[in-house]
Each structure stands twice: as C-alpha cells, then as structure tokens.
Structure 1
Amino acid sequence: MSINVRDQFGKQLAKLAKEDSRVLALDGDLGNSTRLDSIEKETVDSFLQMGIAEQNMVGVAAGLASVGFQPWVCSFATFLTKRALDQIVVSVAQTNFDVKLVGSYSGLLTSNTGKTHHSLDDIAIMTTIPNMTVIAPSDPSETVSAMKAMHKTAGPMYLRLTRDETIPSFLPDSDFEIGKGKTLAEGTDVLLVTTGSTTFRVTEVIKQMEGVSIAHLHFPTLKPFDKELLIDAARKVPLVVTVEEHYIRGGLGSIVSEILSEELPKKVFRIGVPDRFLGCGTDEELLESNGLSVDEIRKSLTALCSKLF
C-alpha cells in the first residue's frame, strides 16, 4: 500500500522546511499522531513545540507571519478550529497573514477517541471566515500537490486531513489548482459530489452500481468553490447527491445546495453525519453507523435511484 495521508503530510512538510527557511512547523503536542514529528526529526530548527495551548499557538503563528515566516500550525481538527477560533479570526484572517492551519484527524476516524475528538463542523466553521481558503485533499498524492500550492500562495489557509490509513493514491492525476474541482466520471442520471476522504469510498461505490449512469465530481477546495464545474455537471442530471464525512448541515452539501438554489434549482440529497454527538468505535463501525461505509453509501444511492428511475 502507498504511504498514507498523514505520513505523506509529515514527509512533505519536512521537505518544504528544508527547501525554504521561512517554513516553520508549530506543534500542539500531537506530533506523533499528526506526523509533524517528521520535521522535528529531519530539520529541528524548523520545529516549534507549543504544547497543548492552541490559542497561544495560533497567536505565535500570526506573530511569525508578521515578520516574514510561513508558519504551518498543526493539531487535531476539532481542537484547532474550536479552541483557537477567536485567534484564527482576529489574528490570522483579519490580518490576512500567511498562516497555514492544518486540521489532522478530521471527521469521524480519530482512533476510537469518541465525540470529544470528532471534527464534524470544521468545514462549516472555516468556510464562513473571510480571507480563509479551505482545502480537503482525498489521497496522499493530492495532499502533496495541495501543500505545494499552499506553500506558493500567500494568505490564510486551512488544510483538512484524514487519519484514514486505507486510502491509496487513487486519483488519475495529482494535479492541484486552488479553487478547482475535478471530474472523475461522466454520467447523465445522478451526479455524486464529494470531498476529502469520502471521494475514495464513493469511487468504490460507483464500481458496484449497475444500470445507472453516474457522474462524479471531487472538490478538494471547498473555499473558493468551483461553481462553474458544479453547475455544468448538474445541468446534465435530474439528481445531485453529496457525500461527506461531516455534519450534513454547513458542509459540502450545504455549499452545493446554496449554489444550485441560486443558479440552477435542482433536487439535492445529502449523505453525511446526522445532527447528533457520537460514541467511540472503530473506523468501520463509525462509518457503518453513520451511513458512510461503501456498503451504506451504495444502499442509500440504490434506494434513491429506485425512486427516481
């Protein structure tokens, strides 16, 4: 199996830090989990251990950016986006500083840690902040390409990463342009719209579907969103289905619904985590119980298609 997303993240950030002395890694005492410890091992001068103090860590990052550094701040997504939200808005976004925020362990798959560690609202939070770019790559190769683009582009950015170690580098190409989506399949019956970790699972679902023509769009950038690609693909189908490892309110499904309601009214069905807190469980158990495993997504899609056709 190819190297997974979080390992690839650590490896690539260490490479960027070696190549560019402006790049600094700020760790919230989770480097072993997020793989930020790769920087500490390979280029210790670029690594700053900030401890379990997310608000201070973001404030320090803003200060570093103000004097020309490019800090990459990494913690679990739920801690970074909620504990340090005020600092993100006031010190990073309002100043438009070149700070890269990395939310690791996003979504459900947080190693049996339970509801305190699940990050199911970070897309909703981060996409509402002015000046903030929000990126959710789907596989290890796209993660590298996204990081290269982030490094070259000034401004506040949030990178949403999964802990899922089962996702290979599966995309037909790893090219990445901030603000652009990707067409993974053409179809005329149903349009599936995905981002981040769910894109791989949905490609597996499509392989199992018969008798239905399915289009599939992957949006690794959630803000700015590629409206034109969505609208063009939605014109060709009677039904749009979004799938995401996030609450169905405020995430990808909400973004798609808002765009289509204004530009091209269309029936949209959202598959995601319902409005509830969740317990502990294995990755497989959590995906299954929330309708996000390959089997459960296939069942939902089959039921939708049977009603439509």
Structure 2
Amino acid sequence: MSGLRLELSIATHFLRRGCSLIWPEFSDQSSGKPSFDLLVEDLGTDGLEIECKSVSNDKGRRIDGETVAELALLVKQQMPFANDLTQGLAVVVTVPDRLPRHATERKALLKAIARQVMMGESGVLQDGTHVDLRDFEANVAAQLNERDPALRQVLEAVTQTKNVPTLVIGKRGHGALVVAFQSARSDTFLNEVFDTVADAAKRQLSGRRAGLVVVGLEAIDAAALKSLAQHDHAASNDPSALRLYVSRLLNRADLSHLVGASFGSKGNLIDGAQALTTDGSSYNFFKEESPFWHPAIGNAFS
C-alpha cells in the first residue's frame, strides 16, 4: 500500500477505538526535530509516536520491475522473431550484478542476448551474463494472458525462476517469447527494509516517548503474512528471517524508545458501516521490557 494509504489506515484504526490523534506536521509540534507521522496522544503514559513506511515489491532488488519494463521495446526490436513463434520459448537472463544503466550499454546487451537466442542454445556472454533457453508447449503459451491472475505462476513454471521481473512477447493464441531477468547476486530485501525501519526509529521518532514503526509490505499478501506468523508461533519451528531481524532491531541499545514494529500485508479496501477498512493481515512485535512500554499499547493492536 502507498505511504499515505498506510498512514490513513492506521489513523482509522485508532480513531475507531476512540483514541485522540495529532498529526505533528499540522501542529505546533512540527517545529522540533522529530518528523513522525502520527501521535496517539492518549495511549499509554505519554502517548505513542507512530512512523509509517510503505515498502514496494522492488525494495532491495538488484533488478526491479520498472527497469525491466523499460527494456520491453528493446527486446521487441532485437527479437522480432517472437511474433513468428509457434511454440513457447523461455529465455532466462542472469547478469553478474545489475542491468546496465545507460541506453547504449543496454542496447548492446540486448543485441548479444538476441544473438545467443538465435543460435538456439544456452551460453555465457563476454560480460559473464548467462542466457539459458527453455522450450515450453504451445498450449501453455496460448494461456499467457496478462489479465489472468495465475500468469505469475505460469511464468515461474516455464522459466524455473521465482519472483523475478519477466516480459512476455508474441501473438495471443500462438507462440510466446518469455524473457526473465535476474541477478547472480542475492537481493537484499530484508536488509533494505530494516535499514529503513532503524533509520526511521532513530531520526523520525523523538526518543522522548514510546515509538512504533508500522511497515506496509506491498509484496506480501494476507495469507502469506498470516502463515509466517503461524510458523513463528509454533515452538517446534526455527524463527523466520523476519523475526530474527526484528529481534535484532528491538534489542538495539540506541532504540530504547522503540516499543514495537508492526508489519502489514497488502490488502483491498472494504467499505464498512462506519469507515473504510482493509482485508489485509498484520504481524506485530513488541518490546515490553522497554522503559517506555505500557500495556495499553499492546491492547490497542489486539
């Protein structure tokens, strides 16, 4: 969800509980250093400061969807044979680190990829980019419809990749060229997320009262986040990466005022009887040993 939508949904949550809210940017409290989004002034001992952060699907990615979308025209120009395919052809491009930034370099890379594809075999380019070719059946190609919610699953099956930016080119009902772009280096999603959260807790919260950071995860749906929480709550399971990162964050000595972090999934807005709500889920973490903690804070999220 967008930052504004996330902030408004959190504000709605507390208003429906009868809490009193202050937007510091619209009050005389905006003159100081803190720049948090909301103050729930009647919660706990001295109120609760809240900072909201919306995290996109491309956060921490070495190759993001927007960059790949910019390559679509180049791919079509360099691989015009895509419209003549009668079968499905998947091309998985694995670059050593990131895609080139400059147009001339991108064009040169796409030309080299196209030459490898026209050779009809997988190979490694001079810059170390791997180009892997995989055929798939025509009936699968005919199913590739951008309006189909199951498209992502089909693309991942034919490319044997997971959650990477992918282009589909060809004539509907005929063959299709599927080009997936990925990096040989791991993405740093959680590192980027928690760097953002820690920075917000340190710079945007005042440190004088209890503070909480709310993170909207656009890449995770309600079922996935709920499943993650259930996994962590089972005593026999090892803690998830999310839980480990949160634990390190909340145990930082310089963030004693941070009493918790709340993670929300993407969700659809629902027109309720009294207000707009969302069908997303949340996974909350609290630090009850903080000197700023108050039980009312935990109760407000139950």
TM-score by length of 2: 0.29
The one of the two structures with greater contact order (alpha-carbon pairs below 8 A, sep at least 6) is 2
Q: TM-score, normalised by structure 1?
A: 0.28
